[in-house]
Structure 1
């Protein structure tokens, strides 16, 4: 797996650890991960702007999203999605 794929999975694991006592992923985090892996840069930035309307953060958000889109293959994204769903069910 590419470095970017590992970073996505690590980020997802961290989100799981901070998502609450039952290890379930709250709907906002599920939507965030879904848009991060499967949405367009514009969709993801529009989602993030709901939580943090800071021009620097939004600029970096778009750069990270574009990097993921240009680096991860569909197979990597599918593996990351599967990992997130399995991890949330195992707790």
Structure 2
């Protein structure tokens, strides 16, 4: 169902949404914003499933230059040294 409402841009640059619209948003959800000359559209970004992630990983293929175990260990040591400072 399509519904048209009017919202206000505050002096701080925030959009003031009426409660009936605000309750449709959830903390942590992501939205893509599509703009044209006179239109702004919010679309909920669907959450990735494990299957989606596996499919994306398969599309990428094997890493042509994978890190060695020693390189990974060195990175971990560097991070730990930095955290101690």
* Greater Rg by CA: 2
The structure carrying a bigger strand percent of its residues is: 2
